[in-house]
A and B are shown apart, each in its own frame.
Chain A
């Protein structure tokens, strides 16, 4: 199902931070994992991903480091304490928004 981009764009940073809450990842790995976890709903382009990752890093929500895996040098991203805090606030915001939308939709149906 194709999802309206406007619905996704505002929450991409939240989704990326959520992925990094479990483990450190590199860019390509994030796109793949997000795609799998969302059943191919969230198909993020690299052109969107890297500016977003770099801006989250500039805001100190993420840190990056170089690490060699299977003979290949990769740039991994790791969520910071500030990132976890930000994610928590975004999650709460999102839950409130979701509940409000559902309320209105159900009310309209009933």
Chain B
């Protein structure tokens, strides 16, 4: 049997095609080493190869054994949670907005379409090989930027607010891909990674200050992980000091240009901050909503609807804020604390599962993208829960599984789909995806000596 025949017989037993390349190379290397050893011992080349191949053992048995190991895995826990929570989320949204849904039956149809769309996106990402983010990180970055900004421009022309801002969260896994492409390239790569972080933060800032802070923090977390794992081959302490300086300057700049302005105390954003930090003092103004939520939550029951909330005695009719980010608050008021705890437990279960997927990853790209997905889920769920308690700055954040917006549903579906894809390919993508593939601009500089 020749070397090629042996390797072919082994790989034919392995059903997952993408797992074959790494195994082929490893076996070929082994045969080459063994052949060299026999040649060193005085064997002719042909004989050395024949003996080396014979020593490898039965190719079919080896292939069958490797096939058993290298199979796509299905994360039943995450799939089950995504499916059940999406359906429950749909019913919960219908229940808390029953009045609105009854008046506008088209909302119900829209919600069903969004549900199906999110299942479609999740399935699409699940079957896609997530390593494409590592290969085409820059291309995807540009594509995402075009999508987000075109939709924002269209919305601005119509005089409405863009609803696609949630798509900005997809920058986070793409940034993970960029960090992956920059690894092992020293200090220049560190500068490039920080530059990309600042550009991404500013791009997000052009749409929303809230998103800007979120994206900046999330990218920071990924960057710190990359440095900590030695991706840039630079001293951790030096890098952290350097990074801390950049981060402090940038945060100061955000604060100065974003919040502090002439007449700042009357500015809308400053008022919002003051209303959050001192709601009692600004109870008639920016602090009103915080006080309203806190007072309403004092009236809730463990099981069943809060009388005050249902009567509208605390609110005089309407809720003083958009209802969508406050689904959890509504659930607690209408169904009791127990229902709220169940919703929080559902989010916690998804976050814990996402964290478990991150921890399992041996592949560097898989690890970093999974970490990006985890960070997005963790930050939004935590912020949402705190915000619904009336103790955190009110923003337009959206919960996973509980959104009425198509872009939010697509974003979270893509994030969960990516986690499923990473888990699925865990035992397949054993070697790092080639750094040579993807789009790269080549510049040749010729230096001539005169």
| Interface of A toward B, CB cutoff 8 Å | 26-28, 45-48, 50-51, 54-55, 57-58, 60, 63-66, 72-75
Q: A60-B360, A66-B431 are in contact. Are A27 and B57 (CB under 8 A)?
A: no
| Interface of B toward A, CB cutoff 8 Å | 22-23, 25-27, 29-30, 33-34, 55-59, 61-62, 65-66, 68-70, 360, 362, 427, 430-432
Q: Is the CB of A58 within 8 A of B427?
A: yes
B23, B57, B360, B427: which contacts A47 (Cβ < 8 A)? B57
Q: How far is the CA of A58 from the CA of B428 in the complex (A)?
A: 10
Inside 8 A of A50's CB, which chain B residues have their CB?
A: 23, 26-27, 30, 62, 66
Number of A-B contacts (CB under 8 A): 63
Distance of A71 from chain B, by nearest CB (Å): 13
Q: How far is the CA of A60 from the CA of B363 in the complex (A)?
A: 11
Q: Is the CB of B30 within 8 A of A28?
A: yes
- A28, A47, A64, A65: which has the most chain B beta carbons within 10 Å? A47
Could you show 18 A-B contacts with beta carbons less than 8 Å apart?
A: A26-B29, A27-B30, A46-B27, A46-B34, A46-B57, A47-B57, A47-B59, A47-B62, A50-B62, A51-B65, A51-B68, A54-B430, A58-B69, A60-B360, A60-B362, A64-B431, A73-B29, A75-B431
Return the 4 tightest CB-CB contacts between A and B, nearest first.
A47-B57, A51-B65, A28-B33, A47-B62
Q: Is the CB of B69 within 8 A of A54?
A: yes
Inside 8 A of A63's CB, which chain B residues have their CB?
A: 362
**Closest residue of chain A to B426, judged by CB?**
A58
**Closest residue of chain A to B29, judged by CB?**
A74
Inside 8 A of B56's CB, which chain A residues have their CB?
A: 45-47
User: What 6 new A-B contacts, CB under 8 Å, besides A54-B70, A55-B69, A72-B29?
Assistant: A26-B29, A47-B61, A50-B26, A51-B65, A58-B427, A75-B431
Q: A27-B26, A75-B26 are in contact. Are A51 and B66 (CB under 8 A)?
A: yes
Q: Is the CB of B66 within 8 A of A28?
A: no
Inside 8 A of B59's CB, which chain A residues have their CB?
A: 47
Q: How far is the CA of A55 from the CA of B62 in the complex (A)?
A: 12
Q: Is the CB of B34 within 8 A of A57?
A: no
Q: Is the CB of A46 within 8 A of B65?
A: no
Distance of B370 from chain A, by nearest CB (Å): 15
Distance of B392 from chain A, by nearest CB (Å): 37
Distance of B104 from chain A, by nearest CB (Å): 51
Inside 8 A of A72's CB, which chain B residues have their CB?
A: 29
Q: Is the CB of B69 within 8 A of A48?
A: no
**Closest residue of chain A to B53, judged by CB?**
A46
Distance of B440 from chain A, by nearest CB (Å): 20
Inside 8 A of B34's CB, which chain A residues have their CB?
A: 28, 46
Q: How far is the CA of A91 from the CA of B108 in the complex (A)?
A: 62
Q: How far is the CA of A51 from the CA of B69 in the complex (A)?
A: 8
